[in-house]
Amino acid sequence: MNRLFWVLAAAVLLILSLGVGEGPRLAGGAAGFILPSGSQPSWGLSAVRAPEAWEITRGTEEIVVAVIDSGIDRTVLALADCMWINPGEQAGTGRDDDGNGYVDDVHGWDFRDGNADSLEGSRLNWHGTFVAGLIAAAFDAESGAGGVAPQIKIMDLRFLDSRGLFFASDWPKLAQAIDYAVDNGARIINLSIYAKIEPPTIVRQALHRAAQENVFIVGIAGNDGARVGYFGRYPEVFTVSAVDQEGQPASFSNWGPEVDLTAPGVHVLSSYPGGSVRTGSGTSFAAPHVSGTAALMLSLNPELSPSELRSMLQSTAADVGRSPGDQHTGAGLVDTAAATGAAAGR
């Protein structure tokens, strides 16, 4: 009798420790990530050591990167799971459910056409989809393409027209897009666009507000083979140049003291509207490697400020055989694994 009592008592204690009807309560687990057998990451992912970073984290959905660009084709399978969903908005209601001033803005806003969806209205330019893919697309084992931070979320803020251009009359739209990103929870803004003329005060003020609100702004050096242009000239912008597979500055990549870091930007692979994977070159495609890296860092340590992100990214950069502070490559090549490790306190 006594033995039966103790057996029953032990069983009850085990059930209580697990939680009745809940099963074992998860407290942790392994964090390793294994690429599909036989697959090889693209040269860009390999160069920044993204697969090594994925052994620490592939990102969290709480971190949102706003892509202010030419719109994103979210029907691309590799991007389907990484699109931001506005938690306060219900699709198709025709109402501004969350009271933010935008109706049905489920994935962001199309500032080009003035509606809730980049897939409605004027035709998308391919550029924004390509940029988004480099930040957060799911890894494609066949091609090796994928995003640096495949488990974060992308906010789609369309600004450029179907040719990938904008005009002086569009400056207010850009300021509104920046404000939208800040007001709706983006921690990073990827600004893979350039300006041929100095932006007006309204845009500079929007960038300053974003920085004051702890939003990390990643921009480009530009593709003229000349001095860094706008928006990379602004101190609020973390400016990225481009290197090729040999680690040499791309011939088209702009240079100057404003260059903070460099990243792969020649013949890199990413998603294209419709779902194909293609090759592209430009500082526009170097910057997303840095945005993705910063997103992984914030996934591990969301308290990091823009200045702390800047410092960690530069202090962990890989040597490209040029002097520190070189005007073509800045502090060096972004090292996603080292930067992520630093954010994790390793």
Task: Give strand ranges (E) for the chain.
Answer: 64-69, 108-110, 153-158, 188-191, 216-220, 237-243, 259-264, 268-271, 277-280
| Of 73, 105, 118, 127, catalytic | 127
Q: Which residues, at least 6 apart from 160, have a Cβ–Cβ distance to it below 8 Å?
A: 69, 70, 71, 112, 125, 127, 128, 166, 193
Helix (H, G, I), strand (E, B) or coil at 327: coil
Q: Residues, the chain, total? A: 346
Determine how β-strand 277-280 pairs with β-strand 259-264.
Answer: unpaired
* H-helix or E-strand spanning residue 190: strand 188-191
> Is 98 assigned a catalytic role?
no
CA distance 295 to 136: 10
| Of 192, 270, 281, 284, catalytic | 284
Token pair in block for residue 22: 């809940």
> Is 328 assigned a catalytic role?
no
* H-helix or E-strand spanning residue 155: strand 153-158
DSSP structural state of residue 191 = E
Residue type, 343: A
Decide if 189 contacts 216 (C-beta within 8 A): yes
Decide if 274 contacts 300 (C-beta within 8 A): no
Q: Which residues, at least 6 apart from 140, have a Cβ–Cβ distance to it below 8 Å?
A: 78, 146, 277
Give catalytic residue positions. Answer: 69, 127, 284
